[in-house]
Amino acid sequence: FQTANLDQELKPVVVGIDRMMLRLEEFENCLELVKAESAVALTQNIPRLVALRPGLNALCERIDRLEQFVAMVGKNLDAVEKQVQIAEEELDIPDKTLNVLLKSLNFFGKAKPTDRPTNRNAETGIYEPVSVFKTEQYFRPNGPEPEEEARDNVGDDSAAASPSEDCDTGTPEK
């Protein structure tokens, strides 16, 4: 005959059930922590984030205006560089040393072209500089930002050249 020792046969099952209960209890505690954190997020963090939104919108508008300003400065710089290049050609200022040597020797006897572009006015013959921005129009030392003007000009290409708009970077000028 075989003797049935029920305690030894059920012992692994009981140990498995105890381990499962322990894990279930740990899971329940984790779930309660997640619920508590969610409640904190809903009651405290989300209202704080919503309160920060106007400041973020204002910052985004300033960044947009600064991007427009940088694009306008780039266009001005391109125009000035073009004028400098034309002036260098007018005054025969070479850009490389080899060109200096070759132009000064003039081996091939080429005549200088007379129909080169110029920075001078065709009628008066006087130099006319490209109009560029003035920093005073765009940067004010420690002044408040014009909120209503900034909102009206957002997305408008003429806003980049508008002297009434401020592109203050927020840093005090020295």
- Residue 3 placed within a domain: no
Q: Is 120 helix (H, G, I), strand (E, B) or coil?
A: strand
pLDDT in tens, the chain (174 residues): 566 688 888 899 999 999 999 999 999 999 999 999 999 888 998 899 999 999 999 999 999 999 999 999 999 999 999 888 888 887 777 666 555 555 555 555 555 555 666 677 667 777 778 888 888 877 776 655 554 444 444 444 444 444 444 555 554 444
Domain of 63, in residue numbers: 8-161
Q: Is the pTM of this model over 0.95?
A: no
- Residue 166 placed within a domain: no
- Residue 87 placed within a domain: yes
In angstroms, the Cα distances linking 153 to 9, 137, 160, 162, 164 are 83, 15, 9, 9, 10
- Overall domain count for the chain: 1
Q: Are 160 and 71 in contact (CB under 8 A)?
A: yes
- Residue 95 placed within a domain: yes
Q: Are 130 and 83 in contact (CB under 8 A)?
A: yes
For 120, phi then psi, to 5°, come to -85, 150
d(CA 128, CA 55): 44
- Residue 2 placed within a domain: no
Residue with tokens 């004028």: 83
- Residue 15 placed within a domain: yes
d(CA 85, CA 117): 10
For 30, phi then psi, to 5°, come to -60, -40
d(CA 163, CA 173): 18
